[in-house]
């Protein structure tokens, strides 16, 4: 059993953790940024002393990372409050702020937020006024590429806190073929603090449960090259289990939203893979029939050995090429590669 | 990986894998006599070719592992031992969350620890190495590990990294079999690693109570001044790689250390006078 297989087996069923090689499991979990999630899954189990110490440190580290992520979200809320625009937290920050099961041990890197496209300029100016700085050279190729074609501003980094923020106006690059309905994402978002007046836009919001799954699926299968995808798929597993338990009408709602955002295929694929790798209970209709290519996606997600090294270079390269193909029409892709080769 | 080795250094176990034999052999020689780490390691370090063909053609060692710096420059295979050391340091600097990590040397006497900290080139490694041969127990030349719960210091006696002039100072003092190969032309000049003595290895699991913090500075006329707690605190936050990420636990541990021991800055023109100043300040602190 490869280390990545051992990792998903341990996350699914903590009783199976460490029946092979602890070093391989820990290295794979760190490489996939799942060490915090694994540490909480193993909490309270009878582990070898050294393993328990490593897991305890990982839990302590996660708890601290959570505090930092929540603080960063709050700093952003304060910086943007005068604008009165809706501010939607995405991904890990949203899970933590809402206290979802997916947040347990979840690592958080950058702060990802979604705001209406019309307010992008004002949001960027307000952030820069509050201490964030541009990371990309202004008007350089990368900067212009982001502004013209991407679903987010070029990343900003805070001068003193050294934390990055990605300001999104939708959930896929403008160049991708599916066109998610960004206005609907924001309109259906949920206030974290229901006490704040509706529409005031001064509080933090998260996506609705179906949109959260749609975004996670889009991020995993319609955008990137699946590097680090085991964690994103673990998010989907945790979210689906929680949403299904809370709302019997979750599956039809998800089907409707996936269709609306033109992401039905990505959502179906993510459900099939979550079921295949993590045993997620999924609605067979939403997941659709298994396809032969599912095995390739699973193999790509599991391309990690017990030294934490990525393996299967040809497969990874194929998915890397696929990610560019999905993101860019051929002519734009050619121009992009030309510019990158010259720089 | 093709070649590998596990090392126990103080409370921390490393698993080091390499695409080449020579760095692992050099490590095994340098770390002869260290305790067996057991089956589970805290951190994994990998020495890999920077590009697949750079395994054979002009071999180039990329430092990889659980925690990495994305822009770390690859090194020549001749410096593979140094790459392994840097890989272990990187795991400590970026991944160590069980102790407050201070970029400091430390030595112990009678269960009490002296902490020496300062910028690179301040001479802390050399001073600690010399004290370790002259009646003190060397706890570490690079990192001091402060317990988050008990405020005691854990030893991290990895091989001492001697640079440039310090190499000859220690070659006069210590038997040749305790030295690794001399590495010339590294980014920090000439480097030679030296294994701590048997006493340091035997006692590596024994913690010590911090008793004195010194900020040495090499190349100035001999002088000592007391340092106030606020300044000690600020300087130690800068000397710590994980103070921020430990949050409240790091703050508690550090304020405990600063409140519990005196501190002084010492300028010194040569190592012998530094040793005298250290012994004198230690006697005053006792």
Chain A residue with CA closest to B3: the answer is: A307
Give CA–CA dist A201/A88, Å, rounded. Answer: 10
Q: What is the pLDDT of residue A194?
A: 67
Q: What is the pLDDT of residue A152?
A: 87
Across the range B157-178, mean pLDDT stands at 94
Across the range A310-333, mean pLDDT stands at 82
DSSP, collapsed to helix, strand or coil, labels residue A318 as helix
A60 and B CB contact within 8 Å: yes
Chain B residue with CA closest to A162: the answer is: B244
Subunit contact A308:B249, Cβ cutoff 8 A: no
Give CA–CA dist B45/B24, Å, rounded. Answer: 12
DSSP string, chain B: --EEEEEEETTEEEEEEESSHHHHHHHHHHTTTPPP--S--SEEEEEEESSGGGGTSS-EEEEEESS--TTPPPEEGGGHHHHHHHHHHHHHHHH--SEEEEEEEEEEETTEEEEEE-STTSSHHHHHHHHHHTTSEEEESSEEEEETTT-PEEP--PPEEEETHHHHHHHTTS-GGGEEEEEEEETTEEEEEE---HHHHHTTT--BEEEEEEEEEETS-SEEEE--HHHHHHHHHHHBSSHHHHTHHHHHHHHHHHHHS-EEEEEESSHHHHHHHHHHHHHHH-
Strands A87-89, A111-114: pairing is antiparallel
Subunit contact B15:A57, Cβ cutoff 8 A: no
Give CA–CA dist A224/A211, Å, rounded. Answer: 18
> Does pLDDT of A337 surpass 50?
yes
Q: What is the pLDDT of residue A198?
A: 46
Across the range A231-242, mean pLDDT stands at 98
Measure the CA angle with vertex A279, ends A275 and A280; round to 5°: 65
> Does pLDDT of A121 surpass 80?
yes
Phi, psi for residue A90 in degrees, rounded to 5: -120, 160
Q: Which residues pair with B267 in a beta bridge?
A: B217, B223
Across the range B180-207, mean pLDDT stands at 96
The count of other CB atoms within 10 Å of the CB of residue A337 is 12
| B38 vs A contacts (CB less than 8 Å) | 50
| B13 vs A contacts (CB less than 8 Å) | 50
Residue A143 pLDDT class (50, 70, 90 cuts)? confident
Compute CA B175 distance to the chain's CA centroid, rounded to the nearest angstrom. 21
Give CA–CA dist B266/B285, Å, rounded. Answer: 15
Of B38, B64, B97, the CB nearest to A50: B38
The DSSP letter of residue A286 is: H
Across the range B78-101, mean pLDDT stands at 96
Chain B residue with CA closest to A22: the answer is: B40
Of B48, B64, B247, the CB nearest to A64: B247
Give me the interface pTM, i.e. the ipTM.
0.93
| A305 vs B contacts (CB less than 8 Å) | none
Give CA–CA dist A335/A329, Å, rounded. Answer: 10
A61 and B CB contact within 8 Å: yes
Across the range A172-180, mean pLDDT stands at 88
| A50 vs B contacts (CB less than 8 Å) | 13, 38, 40, 42
Smallest CA–CA distance, residue A266 to chain B, in Å, is 31
Q: What is the mean pLDDT of chain A?
A: 91
Q: What is the pLDDT of residue B56?
A: 87
More confident residue, B252 or A193: B252
- Chains A, B: CB contacts under 8 A, how many? 53
Residue A187 pLDDT class (50, 70, 90 cuts)? very high
Sketch out chain B's domains with CATH numbers: 3-95 (no CATH), 100-157+196-285 (3.90.228.20)
| A30 vs B contacts (CB less than 8 Å) | 44, 66-67
A161 and B CB contact within 8 Å: no
Subunit contact B245:A61, Cβ cutoff 8 A: yes
């Amino acid at each position: 059993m490869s280390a990545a297989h051992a990792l998903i087996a341990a996350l699914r069923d903590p009783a199976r953790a460490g029946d092979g090689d602890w070093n391989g499991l820990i290295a794979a979990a760190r490489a996939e940024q799942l060490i915090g999630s694994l540490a909480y899954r193993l909490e309270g189990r009878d582990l070898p002393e050294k393993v328990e110490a490593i897991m305890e440190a990982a839990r302590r580290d996660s708890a601290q990372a959570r505090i930092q992520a929540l603080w960063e979200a709050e700093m952003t809320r304060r910086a943007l409050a005068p604008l009165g625009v809706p501010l939607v937290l995405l991904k890990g920050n949203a899970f933590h702020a809402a206290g979802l099961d997916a947040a347990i041990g979840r690592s958080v890197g950058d702060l990802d937020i979604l705001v209406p496209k019309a307010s992008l300029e004002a949001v960027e100016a307000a952030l820069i006024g509050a201490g964030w700085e541009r990371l990309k050279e202004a008007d350089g190729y990368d900067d212009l590429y982001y502004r013209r074609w991407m679903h987010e501003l070029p990343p900003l980094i805070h001068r003193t806190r050294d934390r990055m923020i990605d300001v999104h106006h939708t959930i896929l690059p403008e160049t991708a073929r599916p066109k998610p309905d960004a206005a609907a994402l924001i309109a259906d978002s949920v206030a974290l603090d229901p006490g704040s007046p509706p529409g005031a836009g001064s509080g933090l919001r998260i996506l609705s449960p179906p949109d959260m799954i749609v975004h996670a699926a889009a991020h995993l299968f319609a955008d990137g090259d699946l590097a680090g995808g085991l964690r994103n798929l673990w998010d989907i597993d945790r979210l689906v289990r929680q949403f299904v338990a809370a709302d019997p009408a979750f599956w039809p709602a998800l089907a409707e939203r996936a269709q609306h955002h033109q992401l039905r295929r990505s959502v179906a694929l993510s459900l099939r893979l979550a079921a295949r790798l993590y045993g997620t209970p999924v609605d067979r209709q939403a997941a659709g029939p298994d396809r032969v290519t599912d095995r390739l996606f699973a193999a790509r997600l599991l391309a990690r050995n017990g030294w934490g090294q990525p393996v299967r270079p040809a497969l990874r390269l194929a998915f890397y090429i696929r990610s560019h193909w999905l993101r860019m029409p051929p002519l734009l892709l050619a121009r992009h590669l030309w510019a990158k080769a010259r720089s | 990986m093709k070649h590998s080795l596990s090392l126990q250094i103080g409370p921390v176990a490393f698993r080091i894998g390499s695409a080449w034999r020579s760095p692992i052999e050099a490590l095994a020689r340098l770390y002869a006599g260290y305790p067996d780490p057991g089956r589970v390691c805290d951190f994994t370090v990998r020495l890999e070719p920077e590009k697949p063909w750079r395994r054979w053609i002009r071999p180039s060692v990329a430092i990889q592992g659980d925690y990495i710096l994305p822009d770390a420059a690859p090194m020549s295979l001749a410096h593979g031992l140094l790459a392994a050391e840097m890989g272990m340091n990187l795991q400590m600097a970026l991944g160590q969350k069980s102790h407050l990590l201070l970029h400091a040397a430390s030595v112990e006497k009678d269960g009490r620890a002296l902490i020496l900290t300062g910028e690179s080139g301040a001479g802390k490694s050399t001073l600690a190495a010399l004290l370790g041969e002259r009646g003190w127990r060397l706890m570490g030349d690079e990192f001091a590990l402060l317990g988050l719960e008990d405020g005691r210091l854990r030893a991290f006696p990895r091989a001492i990294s001697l640079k440039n002039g310090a190499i000859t100072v220690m070659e006069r003092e210590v038997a040749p079999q305790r030295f690794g190969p001399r590495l010339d032309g590294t980014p920090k000049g000439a480097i030679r690693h030296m294994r701590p003595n048997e006493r340091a290895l035997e006692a590596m699991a024994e913690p010590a109570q911090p008793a004195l913090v010194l900020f040495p500075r090499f190349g100035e006329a001999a002088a000592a001044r007391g340092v106030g707690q606020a300044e000690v605190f600020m300087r130690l936050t800068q000397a710590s790689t994980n103070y921020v990420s430990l949050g409240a636990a790091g703050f508690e541990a550090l304020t405990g250390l600063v409140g519990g021991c005196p501190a002084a800055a010492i300028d010194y023109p040569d190592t012998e006078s530094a040793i005298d100043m250290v012994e004198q300040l230690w006697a005053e602190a006792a």
